[in-house]
A and B are shown apart, each in its own frame.
Chain A
Amino acid sequence: MMFLRIVARSFNRRRPRIAVAVIAVLMGASMTSGLLTVSTGIEDKLAKEFRRFGSNILVIPRSDTIELGFPGISFGSVSEQRYIDESDLWKIKKIDEWSANVLGFAPMLYQVVQVEHEGNVQRAVLTGTYFDRAFPDLTKAGEIWSTGIKKIASYWNVEGNWIEDDDNGSVLAGVSVAEKLKLKLGDSIYVSYENPETKSTTTEQLSVAGTVSTGGSEDSQLFVPLSVAQRISGRLGKVHSVQVSALCVECPAELIGAEIEKKLPYTQAKTVKQLVRAEEMIMDQLGQMMLLITVVALVASGTTVTTTMMTTVMERRREIGLMKSIGAENSTIASIFLAEAVIVGVTGGFLGYGLGNVLAQHIAESVFSAPITPLLTILPVTVGISLSVAVLASTLPVRRAIRIDPAIVLRGE
């Protein structure tokens, strides 16, 4: 009790100086808390942002390549056209180690078709895919996992309606095709496909359910459910490739790709390296920058605490000398100052956590245009770091305090 009374009374008397120390710790703590909140929240957010731009793994069938040319002179190569069986696609979600990180996939089956609308004829790529295909019993019991382009490519800007996977009569038209053919929602188009082997032509009438704009090659394609594309091209149960969207904050996409190859041995999984590398690089740089700022802030606050505590020790040297002269041990003197450091550290830590969240919100909204959720798990980390900084910063002043010679300070020197 007496110990607490000494500490409390001393605190009360030196409020302005204590306030300086608390503010110093608070600044460091708010940087720690703010940047931890931002980095944790933004890493997730950034990963999702990247995911918004589509898949990061492309699965294609392995194929044998035949070199063409004369001896010593290559004219290029041809590859045998192979497909991935649609019936194997579920295995992508059932890889061994990283299955939880497979957010979704979309198979792709392409063919060049002739499109006719009100007398206008254009050639375009007709792509069959999943839009939001449900896979019952693929994950936990009772949960239906669904996947498709709608899930992995949320950056698609669709006007009108998406297509259901069992809708056999609708098409989603890329904006370039729609513009060339002057398509409006609800218009009917005729899609013709000539089989190169049999020379037979299949024609289907499809209704434009919506248009899609991505700024990429999708703008000049037509999208239909995979089953429709398979029927038109006569490639039942086949797909050319599969785009996989994997969450890669903590795992390398290469590992997920390797696991997919293990499950589908006749395929090769290529990571979209540029995208993944950019993602990793930005996150690395973000993390390094935040670490640097936090370290600088903590060093600055530690220095301020040291200076403040050192001044306090000098101001209180007679009091310290007096305490020693009436029997206080060095450990008691040290514990009085360390208790003050603990209070400064904890108070600064708690206040810094609050301020850090405000800071994090500001950064998130101004830089990433999105709010960020305060994380309670960061509170003990922030308080712990603040406490350590305050106690560590007090080491030198405490050493100075216990070295005070009572005989010297009491005679006024």
Chain B
Amino acid sequence: MMMGKPKIILKSVTKYYDAYTCALSNIDLTISEGEWVSIIGPSGSGKTTLLNMMSGLDTPTSGTININGTDLTGLGQKMLAKFRRENVGLIFQQHHLIPYLDALENVMTAQYFHGKVDREIAREALERMGLGQRLKHRPAQLSGGEQQRVCIARALINDPEIILADEPTGNLDMKNGEIVMGIIKQLVDEGRTLVIVTHNMDIAKQGRRTIQLVDGKISTDSSRQTHNPLETSVGRKANSPPTSTGSARR
């Protein structure tokens, strides 16, 4: 059952890393606006590759990818970079913060690449993540959970409509994992489209749609009614401004 207009459309996407390694095979997938889709599967099944395709970090060997109305097929590096900074927010398992910049500067870096640096907005974004006291701390001085929250603040700072998260709680303890997932749920509640790669079935079940990949192919695509953002909120574009991550709302 589709909800809202299609946000992510993959048609016959195949990815070969070399002649013998097929990461994705003939993937057809449509994800709608405001949907939370969890991608599960064993290691090496192509989950991260699929996510990279959606973010434009990787390109398919064949097939087409249309994200948020942009056909990524055939875009050059410059346009792909522009697409990423304007459309998607990436959350990584390993946080990937710039080690010599403090929390605030890490968030401002994403603003800089987007072309508009606003220290106050970056500060507010971190404060909403509960990091108001950690603005001047460098990644090495932050806990894993705090680093992941900085990463989320950075992913949201340019107000992307699509959040792509790759094992966002994979390196966190239970308590920090819950904090991070609480924030991620709010993002979907605000009407953003979320695609999350996870090994954790408890996290996967929180979304209303789960896709299982096996050997680069979709083995199951199941929808459930556990979470339907469009039923709880009409959708972020048509709704009132979100509250929890309003830092990125401008």
Contact = CB atoms under 8 A, between A and B. Distances in A.
A407 interface: yes
Given A9-B101, A407-B57, A407-B58, A325 B112 contact: no
A322 B96 CA distance: 7
Interface in A378-413: 406-407, 410-412
Contact of A326 (B52, B78, B113, B117): B113
B98 to A, nearest CB: 6
B113 A327 contact: yes
Nearest to A403: B77
B247 interface: no
Given A2-B109, A2-B112, A324 B99 contact: no
B113 A328 contact: yes
Contacts of A1: 117
Contacts of A322: 96-98
Interface in B79-97: 81-82, 84-86, 90, 92, 94, 96-97
Nearest to A322: B96
Contact of A410 (B92, B100, B109): B92
Interface in A1-45: 1-3, 5-6, 9-10, 12-13
B114 interface: yes
Contacts of B52: 407
> A3, A331, A407 — which one has the most chain B CB atoms within 10 A of its CB?
A407
Contacts of B176: none
Given A324-B81, A326-B109, A330-B77, A319 B90 contact: no
A326 B84 contact: yes
A10 B99 CA distance: 9
A5 B98 CA distance: 12
Interface residues of A, number: 27
Q: Is the interface of A mostly helix, strand, loop or mixed?
A: helix
B105 interface: yes
B186 to A, nearest CB: 21
Contacts of B82: 327, 329
B99 A319 contact: yes
A10 B109 CA distance: 13
Contacts of A323: 98, 109, 113
B112 A3 contact: yes
- Which of B58, B92, B98, B117 is the most central at the interface, judged by chain A CB atoms within 10 Å of its CB? B98
B99 to A, nearest CB: 7
B55 interface: yes
Contacts of A326: 84-85, 90, 109-110, 113, 154-155
B150 interface: no
A126 to B, nearest CB: 86
A329 B99 contact: no
A319 B139 CA distance: 13
Nearest to B81: A329
A6 B109 contact: yes
Contact of A327 (B58, B84, B96, B100): B84
B108 interface: yes
B137 to A, nearest CB: 14
A407 B164 CA distance: 13
Contact of A10 (B77, B97, B100): B100
A9 B108 CA distance: 14
Contacts of B96: 318, 322, 325, 410
B230 to A, nearest CB: 28
B77 A329 contact: yes
A5 B82 CA distance: 22
B48 interface: yes
B113 A411 contact: no
A65 interface: no
A2 B48 CA distance: 31
A203 interface: no
A327 B157 CA distance: 12
A285 interface: no
B183 to A, nearest CB: 18
B57 A325 contact: yes
A370 B84 CA distance: 65
A332 interface: yes
A326 B108 CA distance: 11
B48 A411 contact: yes
A5 B92 CA distance: 24
A9 B136 CA distance: 13
B77 A2 contact: no
Complex A-B, nearest 6 residue pairs according to Cβ-Cβ distance, in ascending order: A327-B85, A2-B112, A13-B100, A327-B113, A407-B57, A407-B58
19 contacts: A2-B109, A10-B100, A12-B100, A318-B96, A319-B98, A322-B97, A324-B57, A325-B55, A325-B96, A326-B109, A327-B82, A327-B110, A327-B158, A328-B81, A329-B113, A330-B78, A410-B57, A410-B96, A411-B48
Given A325-B55, A327-B81, 6 more contacts: A319-B98, A323-B98, A325-B84, A330-B77, A330-B81, A410-B94
Interface of B: 48, 52, 55, 57-58, 77-78, 81-82, 84-86, 90, 92, 94, 96-101, 105, 108-114, 117, 154-155, 158
